[in-house]
Structure 1
Amino acid sequence: MNDQTPIKKSSPKDWETDQEVRWCPGCGDYAILKAVQRTMPEIGGTPENTVFVSGIGCSSRFPYYMETYGFHTIHGRAPAVATGVKLANPDLDVWIITGDGDGLSIGGNHTMHLLRRNLNCQVMLFNNEIYGLTKGQYSPTSREGTRSPSTPFGSVDHPAKPCAFALGSGARFIARGIDVHKKLPEVLKAAHAHQGAAFIEIFQNCIVYNADVFDPFVAKANAANTQLWVEHGKPLLFGSEKSGGVKGIALDPGTISLKVVDVEGDDWEAAGVLVHDQTNRMIAHLLVEMPFGDFPMALGVIYDDPAATFDSAVIDQNAKASAGKTPDLQKLVAQGQTWMVEKQPRIE
């Protein structure tokens, strides 16, 4: 093949394996899998240059169903394995698949350090607010009052907020999506375009152990008033005339907090509606902390402000350390305190 030979663009079928997809009928993971397989050709990906790394849980079966390289690792350790993969071969496109239980409980420490280091990869956290694979125990994101085999009287834990956790860990890209929503591929494309650790929380319906828990903002009947799809440079508007009126998100300067305001006609500026700036970390924190019910659910790319990546820093450091030096393994082994073990005579 010469430089003039066009590279054939892949199709979603090229990313499907011959493995039987084994999730519960109706599981949101099916929709996410299809969204990823549709997205890969659009970002110019190639199966031989892509790696999916997962931990433990229903979501972590993902590598079996992607026609790429893959690692199904152990509970919570996908970020550690992915870091090794990326440092060993920085040209690989690395995707981490995890869940609210895998990535925020035993894996919380690993997730935090991957984000603060800013490894150039994509982290997809499937949040169904429950442990699915281990039969329905409550998870770090389960709401207070959640009844499960491990909390028969209702959870008393205050739930973790994945995007707030990621921002607090130093992540430079934060986004949210919904398993069955048509905009999920656009969110994945934006994450892939970001240079650094891109964290995407995906609300995923567990049809067996936590069915329809997200319906208050996912159901189409409620979506206009309960979903705020943010877009850089666009006003933070939601609702419609058909759904009771257009509303917006404004900043209350007195309390430095957000508030919902009514918008008359098209004059959102007069209502003080904020224009989304995805590089504004403070506003990103406020958006992901909005209590649902009083506010809509913020979705889309909430924060995107690239910084130097961990892998590029390691590569540059190694290049500087080895500049002008000739590799000599024997010399390296022999430096410092060494000794020779002589062959001893055999004792009969």
Structure 2
Amino acid sequence: MTEMVKLTAKDFATDQEVRWCPGCGDYAVLKAVQRTLPEIGVDPSKTVFISGIGCSSRFPYYMETYGFHTIHGRAPTIATGVKLANPELDVWIITGDGDALSIGGNHTMHVLRRNLDCQILLFNNEIYGLTKGQYSPTSRVGTRSPSTPFGSVDRPVSPSAFALGSGARFVARGIDVHKNLPAVLKAAHAHRGASFVEIYQNCIVYNDDVFAPFTAKENAGNQLWLEAGQPMLFASGTKGITLDRERLCLKIVDVIDGDWQGAEVIVHEPHNRGVAHMLVEMPVGQGWPVALGVLYEDPAPTFESAIIEQNRALSEGKPADLQALVSKGQTWEVAKEPREI
């Protein structure tokens, strides 16, 4: 019996020079993924990272696995083909807010609604970094950039709300440098189906500290880390989230002496889609926290499993006959008659 070799983070790192701007949040995400994969027992020979175009899309070069650096917005399409061709592969999609939600918006929507078994990591820095700082679909109103010199007037897309609206069965959020990111990645990998993870990623050059109101050390109290079966508490347990049953919306309450039950703080139930929608729409700031961790999870049959079962049922008891398949339908044979000389 061959003993399994225990891999480490170094086994998932290539010899390629990692080329992102110094201080970019992508470095932290890369390290988190490389640390997480050996912990969950991933086989590099059965793992593939697929990316589109953008700063985050350099990712496959730095992973000692299989990988494809594809075209703008089409990583989900390539990933679907890969998974259907070889369902045993562990497929990861690496994308950015511009790549996935602008030119690739429809591709992202379809991979989510189809529920392809894959992990989608969307790096959200609310800007186009690779093309020198233009505003992106997630940029906030008023964002000044080379393409919006007087400030953006667009209402931004919420990636997690988009995922829920597209029928995603697993939606989570993390922060590039946070210690809890590996736990979010593990939960995404354990889920069977399309796992959508929005990662708040700092672009130090073109959108530095845009998430500081909840990522800066002094503002850590504005983070609401969700855990199944646990009360929704933040600000070191002094505040919580409850449901205003008259207005059917969430409400912040004070928690006195740890009595979260008396304050009617609600317990996180990941399968509750309605509450998940409310959580992703919380107006961060003005006392509201940002919801992090697994926001929603409710497994359903995967796309590739349905295709495989359909093909099995259709082919059961039928011998393979390529010629019969080619001849089926509107086909005819042109007889070759001898020519008179």
Q: Which TM-score bucket, shorter chain as reference?
A: over 0.9
In the other structure, the counterpart of 1:158 is 155
In the other structure, the counterpart of 2:65 is 68
In the other structure, the counterpart of 2:272 is 280
Whether 1:42 aligns to 2:34 is: no
Distance across 2 between alignment mates of 1:342 and 1:27: 68
In the other structure, the counterpart of 1:147 is 144
Deviation at 1:331, TM superposition (A): 1.6
Distance across 1 between alignment mates of 2:336 and 2:142: 70
In the other structure, the counterpart of 2:11 is 14
What code does the residue aligned with 2:269 have?
D
What code does the residue aligned with 1:238 have?
F
Distance across 1 between alignment mates of 2:109 and 2:325: 35
1:309 to 302, 308, 328: 302
Are the counterparts in 2 of residues 138 and 150 from structure 1 also a CA contact under 8 Å?
A: yes
In the other structure, the counterpart of 2:252 is 260
**3-state DSSP of counterpart to 1:222:** helix
Q: How does 1:74-89 map to 2 (within 5 A)?
A: 74-89=71-86
Deviation at 1:343, TM superposition (A): 7.1
Q: How does 1:1-348 map to 2 (within 5 A)?
A: 4-224=1-221, 226-240=222-236, 246-294=238-286, 295-340=288-333
**3-state DSSP of counterpart to 2:314:** helix
Percent identical: 73
Deviation at 1:5, TM superposition (A): 2.5
Distance across 1 between alignment mates of 2:2 and 2:234: 47
Distance across 1 between alignment mates of 2:89 and 2:148: 42
Distance across 1 between alignment mates of 2:26 and 2:269: 31
Q: TM-score, normalised by structure 2?
A: 0.97
Are the counterparts in 2 of residues 195 and 309 from structure 1 also a CA contact under 8 Å?
A: yes
**3-state DSSP of counterpart to 2:173:** strand
Which 5+ residue runs of structure 2 have no aligned equivalent? Answer: none
Are the counterparts in 2 of residues 118 and 308 from structure 1 also a CA contact under 8 Å?
A: yes
What code does the residue aligned with 2:229 have?
G
Distance across 1 between alignment mates of 2:325 and 2:284: 59
Are the counterparts in 2 of residues 167 and 285 from structure 1 also a CA contact under 8 Å?
A: yes
Deviation at 1:334, TM superposition (A): 1.7
Are the counterparts in 2 of residues 10 and 46 from structure 1 also a CA contact under 8 Å?
A: no
What code does the residue aligned with 1:339 have?
W
Q: Deviations over 1:289-339 (max 9, x none)?
A: 000013100000111110111110000000001101111112211223333
Which 5+ residue runs of structure 1 have no aligned equivalent? Answer: none
Distance across 2 between alignment mates of 1:336 and 1:98: 42
C-alpha RMSD of the superposition: 1.4
Distance across 1 between alignment mates of 2:122 and 2:258: 36
Distance across 2 between alignment mates of 1:344 and 1:212: 79
**3-state DSSP of counterpart to 1:136:** coil
What number of residue pairs does the alignment pair up? 338
Deviation at 1:43, TM superposition (A): 1.1
Distance across 1 between alignment mates of 2:16 and 2:5: 25
**3-state DSSP of counterpart to 1:115:** helix
Distance across 2 between alignment mates of 1:256 and 1:160: 23
Distance across 1 between alignment mates of 2:15 and 2:110: 35
Distance across 2 between alignment mates of 1:184 and 1:8: 25
**3-state DSSP of counterpart to 1:189:** helix
Are the counterparts in 2 of residues 179 and 204 from structure 1 also a CA contact under 8 Å?
A: yes
Deviation at 1:6, TM superposition (A): 2.6
Are the counterparts in 2 of residues 121 and 196 from structure 1 also a CA contact under 8 Å?
A: yes
- C-alpha change, 1:341 and 1:61, in structure 2 (3 Å) is farther
What code does the residue aligned with 2:5 have?
K
Deviation at 1:341, TM superposition (A): 5.1
